[in-house]
Every structure is written in C-alpha cells, then in structure tokens.
Chains A and B, each alone.
Chain A
C-alpha cells in the first residue's frame, strides 16, 4: 500500500525566504505526482503536476522536483509572501492502482 509522508507538518518563516517542502512516498511505481494548495475552509487548488517521466515542473515562484528512484518530491517556493500561507499537500498516482494517495500536508505560515 502506498504511503505518502510530508515533512515538516508545519513551517513558519518570515517574508522573503526561499523554502522547501518535502514529500516522500514508499512505492516508486507511480504515474504522476501532484502538489496542491489548500486555504482554510476551501477546496484544494492544483499547483503543479509532474508526470513520472519528468524531473521537475515550474510555475512562477514554484518549482517541484521528482526523484522516483528515491521516492521523493520537493516543492520549492522562492521569495515567500504572506499570501503563500496555506496548507500544501502532495498526492501520488500509483501505477498499479487508479487513485491518488495524499499526504497529510505541510501548514505554511509566512509572516510579514
């Protein structure tokens, strides 16, 4: 059974810092990995989707990398802003199954 772990569970940083969120998964046979953002009381918003054949994806100040062999992905946020405060979740699509397995998220707080 696929297990997805996100470290740290919570992170507090001052505005302007570059930061890295980590996601690890136990079964490396995946189709893709997706990073989401969730604001309090809201649904999840897709940030980046990395296919298994890709090493990274970039969108604005966000960069996500994928290392299938080691079962790891990182989400890099450059020059963090208070508006980046949210919970970030990663989810893995497994090759042998047809559903996503979610991590429990990293709660990020960026202070002005």
Chain B
C-alpha cells in the first residue's frame, strides 16, 4: 500500500544543533507539506512544495528550510534548533494541482530541543 513515512519518530537535540526530519511518500504525489502542531495553535504550515525543485514558505517558516530533489522526499531542516521549535511535526502529501486533492498525513515526528 502507498504510504507516507516520517523519521525519526522521536528526537531530542540541543539548542543550536542542525536537525533534519525526513519525509518519504510512495503515492507519487506532486504536493508535499510540513506542518507543526502545538497546543493552543493547532496545525501551522511551515513549508510546502508543488513539485520537484519547487518550494514555498508557509505561515511559520523562519528557522526552517526544505528542498525537493525528487517526487518522493521532502526533508525538513532546522538550521540551528531553538527551544521554540520543540513540537510535533507532520508531513503530508496530496495529488492534483495546487493542493485541491485529499491530504494524507504521516504519523508525526516529535522533536524536543533542550
């Protein structure tokens, strides 16, 4: 079955370290997204991509970057982790143009920055 997988599922790091969260989907979806979920804020969009070599900033993109070198993967990098980036991160994907299709989510990556 097609799926979307995230790794690692749990990570603890220190302030200032670079961290990369992986996201891999086997649906061959054009559109991929990274969200963070925090109590009181709900889900907020970090970055998104509509295809290979395309990346766009979302609502809370400061301190994060992404790159899309193939259809299946959209890694999320925290250049210099901060305690404010402690959160649960979700990757998602969808088919269709401009994200008009159904959205499928990974299981999430829980990141703790000490």
B100 contact from A44, A45, A89, A93, Cβ within 8 A: A93
Contact B42 A105 (CB under 8 A): yes
- In the bound complex, residues from chain B placing their C-beta under 8 Å from that of A100 are 45, 99, 103
- In the bound complex, residues from chain A placing their C-beta under 8 Å from that of B99 are 93, 98-100
Quick one: closest A residue to B42, CB to CB?
A104
Quick one: closest A residue to B108, CB to CB?
A43
Contact B98 A98 (CB under 8 A): yes
- In the bound complex, residues from chain A placing their C-beta under 8 Å from that of B41 are 104
Q: A89-B43, A100-B45 are in contact. Are A46 and B90 (CB under 8 A)?
A: no
- In the bound complex, residues from chain A placing their C-beta under 8 Å from that of B100 are 31-32, 93
- In the bound complex, residues from chain B placing their C-beta under 8 Å from that of A32 are 100
Contact A44 B102 (CB under 8 A): no
A46 contact from B58, B103, B106, Cβ within 8 A: B103
9 residue pairs of the A-B complex, CB under 8 angstroms, read A43-B90, A43-B106, A44-B90, A44-B103, A89-B43, A93-B99, A99-B99, A102-B43, A105-B42
Q: Which residues of A contact B (CB under 8 A)?
A: 31-32, 34, 36, 41-46, 49, 89, 91, 93, 98-100, 102-105
